[in-house]
Chains A and B, each alone.
Chain A
């Protein structure tokens, strides 16, 4: 019993790692479309805000404020409406993990 429980935990960990990697790739792919304005991996070369290394909660809140109109914008209110709350989280995970240049 103890043995199988240990195995379960090990399998569980393996599964989580694999699932996590998949989630990261989808987040990476989602974020890739942002780089036209915000630079590769969120490292903007000027003008648009740098997203690389941005605090997760701040990123998510900004997106929500763009969507609601609480933060006025020229473009971002439109993009924010195109993504779901879950996608905000994925994007926040990805960008917060990127190194600022």
Chain B
């Protein structure tokens, strides 16, 4: 202990000991001084924004909540395939975070997390740090570009999109479809599960076909699925393709795309090379990068194992993970992220007040897919905590639509309105 604080500061100023404390720069400023009990939420998507709101709401504003988000606006991924079909614009799906600040007193920090120190309960950003009592990480998914030779983030941003996070790529993909000649081919590549939004790729095929049917009727939709079969709502999607878009949609199972050629827009599978006019490749997915910063992705190095009573990480106490990043037999959907967020919010409040969290979490998921301009299909399930399995298990009675309908198409729109209000207003 001969190394005094003064010595440390001197040494630090001289740049001697900085390297000994990676991730925790003493020079960094505390962005918002922590006074009372605080939860920091990383990621303002469906999961994170909901957790932030419900911790304020259910703690009667007693717990301070800081929400870190890198994007200026919230853009809904659910229903974003309708931008491709022409039913909505990206603006229709874009919402502000302002009400979370005004109505709930959530402190919004715009920026990206650069490091997490679970021991010191500190989150680092480029311009400073934040201390927390409990951390909720809702990082969504990131893309494993290295699994598809020739693909990377810059290629995705300008040429072979994934458009699997709603935003600029969604708009670009729509423009590519508009610029495509009639008689052209749109090909979508689906990775092996688990991936975000199981029915999403098949809904996208419907929405692109819907656009083609109206504007480019000689064109084709080709689905290259790495999975052995349609992952979700199979009968309903097949009926939509056969009855609404006969001869337009071709489905190929076991078609794993391992390589692309950007210049010729060619996707290579084990069996053949597929050349498309518009190529849309969803790379394999894993928990968003923030999860890696604290080593939270302990399942296959991709997904985060959690305790389903609290969503506390299996790796670090005091850090909770919600949404698509979680390893579970639960669909990676927007509704599921909000349901997990509420279980987590309730548990975090109880834990911070020294009480026992709800021992019987029971949550629901309803997921609509638009199969045309005005018809939808759904899958719905209730999931409850199973003590023996220590997992969330589907309850009896869940299932899919009997058939596609305009009524469900209208419900899908109301679902979007209500869930966005529940998350952000």
Partners in one complex: yes
A residues sitting closer than 8 Å to B (CB atoms) are: 25-26, 28-30, 32-40, 44-48, 67, 74-75, 77-83, 87
Contact between B421 and A39, CB atoms less than 8 A apart: yes
Q: Is the CB of B339 within 8 A of A33?
A: yes
Q: Which B residues are CB-close (under 8 A) to A45?
A: 414, 417-418, 421
A-B pairs, top 7 by smallest CB distance, nearest first, are A81-B397, A47-B414, A82-B382, A82-B395, A33-B364, A32-B342, A36-B419
Shortest distance from the beta carbon of B69 to any chain A beta carbon, whole Å: 20
Min CB gap B283→A, angstroms: 28
Complexed CA–CA distance, A25 and B356 (Å): 12
Kindly state whether residue B388 has any CB partner on chain A within 8 Å: no
B399 CB contact (under 8 Å) in A35, A36, A78:
A78
Chain B contacts to A: CB under 8 angstroms: 54, 58, 335, 338-339, 342-343, 346, 358, 360-364, 366, 378, 380-382, 384, 395-399, 401, 405, 407-408, 410-411, 413-415, 417-419, 421-422, 425
List 17 contacting pairs A-B, 8 Å CB cutoff, sorted by A: A26-B358, A30-B362, A33-B362, A37-B414, A45-B418, A45-B421, A46-B414, A47-B417, A67-B397, A75-B378, A75-B380, A78-B380, A78-B381, A79-B380, A82-B381, A82-B396, A82-B397
Expressed in whole angstroms, the minimum distance between the Cβ of A71 and any Cβ of chain B is 15
Specify which of A39, A74, A80 is in contact with B418 (CB 8 Å cutoff).
A39
CA distance A42 to B414 in the complex (A): 13
Q: Are A29 and B397 in contact (CB under 8 A)?
A: no
Q: How far is the CA of A35 from the CA of B364 in the complex (A)?
A: 10
Cβ-defined contact, A74 with B378, below 8 A: yes
In the bound complex, CA of A46 to CA of B419 (Å): 11
| A30 neighbours in B (Cβ, 8 Å) | 362
Q: Which one of B338, B382, B397 contacts A36 once the chains associate, using CB atoms below 8 Å?
A: B338
With most chain B CB atoms within 10 A of its CB, the pick from A29, A36, A40 is A36
CB distance from B11 to the nearest CB of A (A): 51
What chain A residues lie within 8 Å of B360 (beta carbons)? 26
A36 close to B418 (CB less than 8 A) = yes
Shortest CB–CB separation between residue A32 and chain B, in angstroms? 4
